[in-house]
Chains A and B, each alone.
Chain A
Amino acid sequence: MIIQIPVISLVFFLLMALIVPLFKRRNFAVTTTLGLIVLLIVWVLTVVLVRDVYLNGPFTYAFGNHESFIGLELLVNLFSAGFALFMLSLIIIIYVYSTSDATEGIAEKEYGRYYILLFILLFAMFGILYTNDLFNTYVFMEILSITTVSIISIKRKKENYTASFRYVMLNEVGSLSYLFGVALLFMVTGHTNIDLVAASIQSSFDDYTANIVTALGFMLTGIGIKAAIFPFHIWLPDAHSTAPTSSSAILSGLVVKLYILIMIKMLFRLFGFDIVSAMNIHIVLMMIGAFGMIMGSVFAIGQTDVKRMLGYSSIAQVGYIVLGISLGTVLGLQAAFFHVLSHGLMKAALFLSVGAVIYHKGVRKVKDFNGMASEMPVVMTVFGLAALGMIGIPLTSGFISKLNLGLASLDANQGYLIIIIIVSGLLNALYYLPILIAAFLKSNKPGDLGLKVEPIPRLMMVPIVVLGLLIVYFGLFPNMILSWFEEIAVVLL
């Protein structure tokens, strides 16, 4: 029964997406509550799945009981199940937030559409994580792209259209690039199943070098575009500046990470790190990661809109993860995974708090944040915690990921990367600290103000506080999660 859980989760999500239109005439709270119930059920099922995989090892699930070379296969190991659990938890938190953020630009009757898209997005995410087939990954990737662009441009505003059009175009180029890579691999190996292709590549690498090399290049570029890695990051800030808050949080915190996980799967399971390092791809990735870390922050410094600034900050943080991957050691992958977790939490916290500020005060520009903390203390505290985490101050999870990344780069004999990591942390400080200082200190009103908790709905406040607590928790006690990540990394390598 447990082996059915991945499929059941997918089915649940799809069914939920289909049921939402049927509730159009009722009170909207019914829909959201039902959605929450479905999410919680799937969460419990995934926990059971993770426990089972942890104790009994990975398993594969073939659709229709077909053989792997003609059928569709799901691979459930600690990597997929663990990250599925993480992403689901984060989605639940963001979902709870989004149920009360009704009026941020989305028209009332389109509100149900938002949730349909959200559930299909979850369906696609789980599909990508579990699948063991290259072409199936492509299909789910397309579904994910379309739903993501839809939840971003769901507000009907003029400036949305250019940004979403550019997003769609670039993502399509990315997907097609990936598909081209898959086609080349199919040409060489005759399979699309990842395990079979990997075995075949190992044996036929010397004969068909050009094919495999080209395939790797195209796939890498394609996924790089979709993961907002440095030279291809162009669509991300525009997408953020016009999206509703929970969509921004999902995009920056989860979707981008998902593509990086695909890249990890591709580099380590499909091609194997030996081939990748023989072609010096890891050096290319290292350089991209380093540049991304620095340039992302440099671009963020001059921004006036907070959401765009957070978008550029995401690009910088994705650079960290790519750097960790490119080291190619267990420690490097472990640090990269931890940063996936920690950046997801921190970026979601940042976006959600900014969303609360926009909801309550209606301001988005950096210079309007003066004295914000006296009116919205809890939200700005969580914002402050997350910002300190981005900079890398101890007691937050961001510090742990920086520390581990530094130790990993030392371990891989690339000690000079530490300088880049630290410089990037300083650049982060350059644009986060002024907001914090302005919010907490530069009060507009003369005299002191009494302590009050800001009047935003509790469903908005609770997720933000939960995220803040998680950031501090993982900053203090990271070792359990780190050991899990180490197990995953060992298997991958």
Chain B
Amino acid sequence: MNDIIIKTVVRLIIPFVQIYGIYIILHGHISPGGGFAGGALIGTSLVLYTLVFGIEKSKEKFSERVSEFAESGGIILYIAIGLIGLFVSGSFLTNIDSGFPVGHPGTVISGGMIPLLMIGIGIKVASTIITLFHALIEEEEA
């Protein structure tokens, strides 16, 4: 779109949307939401960017290479955390017994490994949404 109003507004809004997404990811173990919802938010912000600025600029921001790493990285993070649990205390995805910081219930640093998992999931979901969107847009153009 070439409308200058929309472009300016979107350029202002996107950072706030992304911060809100990160907030939801990090507070996944305290409040509703978690990795999936937060990741969807971040992804949607990137979709908004694509819609307004076009696909080429979007691809500069979020190229295929980045998406590859993001997707693989998300899962590798998850698996790595699980494997820590396996090596330290004998079972995959063990939480408290593996020595993750427990903290006080209700604060951000609590719940052991769950925030870390949420981060991984969030990255992956966001990357998936934007990749799928790019694929669909390219299908239509082609």
Contacts and interface: CB of A to CB of B under 8 A. Distances in A.
Direct contact between A and B judged by beta carbons closer than 8 A? yes
A62 B92 CA distance: 8
Contact of B83 (A11, A18, A62): A11
B76 A61 contact: no
Contacts of A11: 79, 82-83, 92
Given A11-B79, A11-B82, A15-B79, A64 B94 contact: yes
Nearest to A10: B92
Interface string B26-43: 000000000000000000
B127 interface: no
B111 interface: no
A4 B82 CA distance: 12
B90 A65 contact: yes
A21 interface: yes
Contacts of A4: 86, 90, 92
A7 B86 contact: yes
A22 interface: yes
B72 A63 contact: no
Contact of A14 (B71, B79, B89): B79
A64 B92 contact: yes
Contacts of B85: 64
B95 interface: yes
A19 B90 CA distance: 26
B93 interface: yes
Given A18-B75, A18-B76, A64 B68 contact: no
B91 interface: yes
Interface in B10-25: none
B109 to A, nearest CB: 19
Contact of A65 (B68, B71, B82, B91): B91
A210 to B, nearest CB: 35
Contacts of A15: 76, 79
Nearest to B97: A65
Interface residues of A, number: 14
B115 to A, nearest CB: 16
A14 B95 CA distance: 21
Interface in A38-66: 61-65
Contact of A22 (B68, B75, B83, B90): B68
A7 B92 contact: yes
Interface string B75-114: 1100100110110011111110100000000000000000
Given A4-B86, A22-B68, A14 B91 contact: no
A22 B72 CA distance: 9
Contact of B68 (A7, A21, A62): A21
A75 B68 CA distance: 34
Contact of B93 (A18, A21, A64): A64
Interface in A314-355: none
Contacts of B71: 18
A349 to B, nearest CB: 35
Of all A-B residue pairs in the complex, the 10 with the closest CB atoms, nearest first, are A18-B72, A7-B92, A65-B91, A64-B93, A64-B94, A63-B93, A65-B94, A63-B92, A21-B68, A64-B95
19 contacts: A4-B90, A7-B92, A11-B82, A18-B76, A19-B72, A21-B68, A22-B68, A61-B92, A63-B92, A63-B94, A64-B85, A64-B91, A64-B92, A64-B93, A64-B94, A64-B95, A65-B89, A65-B94, A65-B97
Interface of B: 68, 71-72, 75-76, 79, 82-83, 85-86, 89-95, 97
Given A7-B82, A11-B83, 17 more contacts: A4-B92, A11-B82, A15-B76, A18-B71, A18-B72, A18-B76, A19-B72, A22-B68, A62-B91, A63-B93, A64-B92, A64-B93, A64-B94, A65-B89, A65-B90, A65-B91, A65-B94
